[in-house]
Structure 1
């Protein structure tokens, strides 16, 4: 009888312990699954940050390359004077003829006649610079610089007309040129083209 009671007690105890063990195992499984999910989520959350970091690194690298390129361009012109660079840029933008053999530079002071071949001509109100090629067909530019990237362009003809070729006096003709100067912003242009023209400069007294 006692053996029977002991057996019954053991069976009841085992029956009570088995569900508890199963719950513990399930709890362990749940904990492991939760840990795995947390690790996966952490990995996913880091991926966009890595992409952002890579994008920022590429952008910074591109900016550094651009800065180096700009510094290289500046260095290319650093051995030339501001005036030389201006002469070449003005010619490139206004005339555009790069096939000239030489680019002559002539300075005219304020008070000198616009048309030096006619006594009836009015005088320049300011110092001007004339750029011209070796031949008349190469082109001609007369201007004054404003020191801010712009110039005052004077519409000086490559060949002065005679009194018979104009309907007004030479005084009126040249005065009209003075009154109708055009202000133009000069672009920087391409450094290699500027340098090639600078090499052809011939400054006259």
Structure 2
């Protein structure tokens, strides 16, 4: 945002106080300098002025209705899914200033001002990390919902580089013009009123996939995976159609594993392959 009149380039160029630099030269010289991204993350932007094409002065960006539009914009698969598929619950969070990778605090970046998160429960429902641009568009940041790739934890350069790439390369999209029915249906996800109450029905079982297998294990454990103590391998599908993955201590020693059946039942094994317990 600027508070001054925008002059003709030649007029500015010929002024005594101006200096002209070649963008290509600047980019080549500084593109790999980590300090550039660190300084960029400290820049604070004022609220953009409304454009001539759209009046955004009356847009409420902290309402469930607005969050519903963001959700439908970022995850278009929900637009045509219908009531039977929209069985998740949504939560909104203001995450500006939070660390992008909380598992490697020294080698990541903080979210810029204005960045928000919409998170689904279970996490397989998805998440949206976004910023309202004030002009009818949002910037969407491709942040992983789980940091399963051990490089996020053990490779400092990888964590720093990926964090900076995510923050510096958001996808800018126009906010979806959702219908009232779509908005009302999605708003219900914020209070859980559309959840499937028939928990005893076979239809209530969610199919186990790569995207939700971690959720099944965390539901079984009653907490998130302890990434401070263990390193978890990527889930793999076994020959009999089940999902499984192992985990190691920080010294690289096998500490245990999980097998997840098609119906979501989790069986836990210790480092010797002996069954520890099972459940949902």
Per chain length, whose mean CA-contact separation is higher, i.e. which structure has more relative contact order (CA < 8 Å, sep 6+)?
1
Report the counterpart of residue 90 of structure 2 in structure 1.
Answer: 103
Could you tell me which of 84, 87, 109 is aligned with 1:122?
109
Cα pair distance change 1:166/1:180, threshold 3 Å: farther
Query: What SS does structure 1 have at the residue aligned with 2:129?
Result: strand
Contact 2:119 2:126 in 1 (8 A): yes
Larger Rg over CA atoms:
1
Matches within 5 A, 1:171-186: 171-186=160-175
TM-score of the pair, normalised by structure 2:
0.40
Matches within 5 A, 1:56-67: none
Aligned residues: 122
Contact 2:152 2:158 in 1 (8 A): no
CA distance in 2 between counterparts of 1:173 and 1:88 reads 28
CA distance in 2 between counterparts of 1:82 and 1:158 reads 22
* Higher normalized strand content (fraction of residues): 2
Report the counterpart of residue 43 of structure 1 in structure 2.
Answer: none
Report the counterpart of residue 87 of structure 1 in structure 2.
Answer: 67
Matches within 5 A, 1:145-164: 145-160=132-147, 161-163=149-151
- Confirm or deny that 1:170 pairs with 2:150: no
Contact 1:88 1:198 in 2 (8 A): yes
CA distance in 2 between counterparts of 1:178 and 1:166 reads 20
Report the counterpart of residue 182 of structure 2 in structure 1.
Answer: 193
- Confirm or deny that 1:132 pairs with 2:119: yes
Q: 4+ residue runs of structure 1 moved beyond 2 angstroms?
A: 80-83, 164-169
Deviation at 1:172, TM superposition (A): 0.9
CA distance in 1 between counterparts of 2:98 and 2:146 reads 18
CA distance in 1 between counterparts of 2:100 and 2:161 reads 12
CA distance in 2 between counterparts of 1:190 and 1:166 reads 45
What CA deviation, in whole Å up to 9, does each residue of 1:90-148 have, x standing for no partner? 11121133513311111112x32111222111111222111121112111110010122
TM-score of the pair, normalised by structure 1:
0.53
Query: What SS does structure 2 have at the residue aligned with 1:187?
Result: coil
* Higher normalized helix content (fraction of residues): 1
Q: CA RMSD in A?
A: 2.4
